[in-house]
Amino acid sequence: MNSTRYSVGGLAFPDHQPITLGPRHPTSAGLITLAVDTEADRIVAADVTSGYGHRGAEKLFEVRDYRAMIMLGDRHDWLAAFSGELSLTLTLENAMRLSAPPRAIILRTLLAELARIHSHLSFLSYLSSGTEPNERLWRVVEEIRSRFLAWTGNRVHPMLNRVGGLATDAPDGWLATLDELLDDVARLSADLRAILDRTSRFSGLGILDQSACLGFGLTGPVARAAGFDPDRRADGYLAYGSVFRPVHTRTAGDAEARLGVLIDEVGTSVDMIRVALALAAQTPGEVNIKLSRRLRVPEGQHSTDIEAPWGIASCLMNSRGGQTPWRVALRTPSFANVSALGKALEGATTAQIPDVIASLGYSIGDLDK
């Protein structure tokens, strides 16, 4: 039996072999390490170590007032930052029994799906690498960032959610010009599907069946690739009761199925955004509620689940009735995905490690917090 240590990410230990999925792939940030045991070049065991980028995010929430802590919410999964702040905001609103104005709810739904597209395309860049659609993919990703910049003044960290709604409405013309971007995304999704259909390299690789999904707490695209679909959007939070479109599940549970689900979700997100655009056009009005400067959350435990790009993201908040939370705990899909990576690698060759990792997405901030 041979043992080899690998580093995945932009940082690397000198005694580890580096693994890269491309300079712009999301895994290039931060670091995870793999201790891999092989027999006849087949992996028989893989131990994954994370935590090198731990920043104590949950403790930082506890020393911020409730308004300020939302601004930290988009700092862990920076590929879908809007979803991070949305999880905290909905937890606060549910605890305070507040409901944002109808227009704000629709716009939140639209932006959550736009963030999902941004995240999925960033991970799918591994599939498109070396092909003609790859540059178009990154142009679309950059265009989405530019859209957030035009609305919020920040390309990556929008900081748009507020307790009771949004900081501002969409700028004039922002919504009207979104259709062109959605057309580009739809064409790109079809091209990515064609690329996946032309290759068999991901078939039968990195299998995680329904039992593994339940054991590791896997949700989102990973679970849907195994025929298990606990999609929180189907519960109808935000405006999903009006716009939700289910994603087709698969049963193989392999890397090919997971990448296929990602591509499908890009398409369904486009469909949901189009419906949200129509609803927004029919729903004028304010996008926030006027509240006192200092907020207090009722004493007790409060929790909320949302459907982040890679699965269920949960926020558990413990309040003692003050202006800051007593405790905040985050359940992130990145942690579940990386926890299952060792299992997914069993039976693969060492050359296939990047292919398996590409189908189990994570953001290092979301993983290490």
- Sequence-ordered list of residues with C-beta below 8 angstroms from that of 130, at least 6 positions apart, any chain: none
* Three-state SS at 2: strand
Instruction: Identify the CATH assignment for 57-333 out of 1.10.600.10, 1.10.645.10, 3.90.950.10, 1.10.287.3510.
Output: 1.10.645.10
Q: What is the pLDDT of residue 366?
A: 93
**Rounded to the nearest 5°, which phi and psi values hold at 315?**
-125, 125
Q: Which residue has the tokens 């519960």?
A: 235
Q: H-helix or E-strand containing 201?
A: none
- Rg of the chain in Å (alpha carbons): 20
Q: Over the stretch 114-127, which tens digit does the pLDDT of each residue have? A: 999 999 999 999 99
- Does the pLDDT of residue 332 top 90, yes or no? yes
Q: Over the stretch 12-61, which tens digit does the pLDDT of each residue have? A: 788 899 999 988 999 998 899 999 999 988 999 999 999 998 988 899 99
Q: What is the pLDDT of residue 13?
A: 86
Q: Fill in the amino acid letter for 148.
A: F
Give me the chain's average pLDDT, please.
Answer: 95
Between β-strands 161-162 and 165-166, what pairing exists: parallel, antiparallel or unpaired? antiparallel
Q: Over the stretch 77-115, which tens digit does the pLDDT of each residue have? A: 999 999 999 999 999 999 999 999 999 999 999 999 999
Q: Over the stretch 288-321, which tens digit does the pLDDT of each residue have? A: 999 988 899 999 999 999 999 999 999 999 999 9
pLDDT band at 11, cuts 50/70/90?
A: confident
Q: What number is the average pLDDT over the span 224-236? A: 96
Sign for the CA dihedral angle at 61, 157, 312, 35 comes to negative
Between β-strands 311-319 and 300-308, what pairing exists: parallel, antiparallel or unpaired? antiparallel
At 26, list the tokens.
């999301």
Q: What is the pLDDT of residue 262?
A: 98
By percentage, how much of the chain surpasses pLDDT 70?
100
Count of CA atoms in the C-beta half-sphere (13 A) of 99: 7
Ordered by start, the domain boundaries in the chain are 57-333
By percentage, how much of the chain surpasses pLDDT 90?
88
Q: What is the pLDDT of residue 76?
A: 86
Q: What is the pLDDT of residue 169?
A: 98
Q: What number is the average pLDDT over the span 323-337? A: 95
pLDDT band at 325, cuts 50/70/90?
A: very high
Q: What is the pLDDT of residue 74?
A: 87
Q: What number is the average pLDDT over the span 154-170? A: 95
Cβ proximity of 327 and 91 under 8 Å: no
- Does the pLDDT of residue 327 top 90, yes or no? yes
Q: What is the pLDDT of residue 55?
A: 87
Residue 36: beta bridge partners? Answer: 4, 46
Q: What is the pLDDT of residue 1?
A: 80
pLDDT higher at 181 or 23: 181
Q: Over the stretch 236-259, which tens digit does the pLDDT of each residue have? A: 999 999 999 999 899 999 999 999
- d(Cα 83, Cα 61) in Å, to the nearest integer? 16
At 353, list the tokens.
């490690």
Q: What is the pLDDT of residue 10?
A: 82
Q: What number is the average pLDDT over the span 134-139? A: 95
- Does the pLDDT of residue 334 top 90, yes or no? yes
Q: What is the pLDDT of residue 185?
A: 98
Ranges 5-19, 60-74, 268-282, most confident: 268-282
pLDDT band at 2, cuts 50/70/90?
A: confident
